[in-house]
Amino acid sequence: MTISAPRGVSGYFWKGCNQPGLVFWVRILEKALMKSVVRRRCVVRFNKLMSLVLVLTATAFGPLSVQAEMKIAVVDVDRAVAGSEAAQKLLRQLQEEFKTDEDTIKKIQTEAAELLQKMQKDADVMSDDEKRRVQQEIESLNNDFVYQRQKLQKEVAARQGELFIGTEEKVRKAIEDLVLENDYDMILPRAAALYVGDLYDVTRKVTEKLNQAATAQ
């Protein structure tokens, strides 16, 4: 028997009741990375410039001459930063630092899962009052879940901000070094391309440059 989520209970919370072992801090950090200062300032800026650059290029050169004369690469800035040793270190720190919060969230979902199983098992023999009481308990757990999750999001967002202090300049320097070392004419954001082969993706190289810069400090 399938029990739909009670009114006022979020679908995300309801679905998660059957997965009490979810590691929320990882997902929260990934979401924070996608909204990072790097993405807002670097990738968006690149996207705005890309259309103009490609239009001017297409106007000035034919398709064959562009292929012959221009060396172009793409980079996923978010993935480059997230894959760096600094980001991985931060992930490990967050896992330890927010373990108590994570355990609290998992406990809430475990309790909700038990109530959900009770409703699924005993729905036919439960009185209307009992069903209402269980639903109210689930709604209360949902409210607690929302509060704890938002609290964790804010705390993680504050901590992950440390990772991006000065990151824009570091990414710019890493890309400049790649341009000089490999004679690239243009490095564009990967998200702006409809398709690009891995051969032209320098994301890993940018990550390596970031790691080298961090080691040199």
Q: What is the pLDDT of residue 31?
A: 52
Residue 1 lies in a domain: no
Domain contains 3: no
pLDDT at residue 21, as a whole number: 38
Predicted confidence at residue 192, as pLDDT, reads 84
Which residues pair with residue 187 across a beta bridge? Answer: 73
Domain residues for 158?
11-216
Tokens of 199: 């051969």
Question: In this structure, is residue 183 part of a structural domain?
Answer: yes
DSSP string across 121-156: HHTTT--HHHHHHHHHHHHHHHHHHHHHHHHHHHHH
Per-residue confidence (pLDDT) for residue 181, from 0 to 100? 94
Please list the ranges in the chain whose pLDDT falls under 70: 1-68
State the total domains in the chain: 1
Give the number of other Cβ atoms within 10 Å of residue 70's Cβ.
12
The pLDDT score that the predictor gives to residue 68 is 56
**Amino acid at position 56, single letter:** L
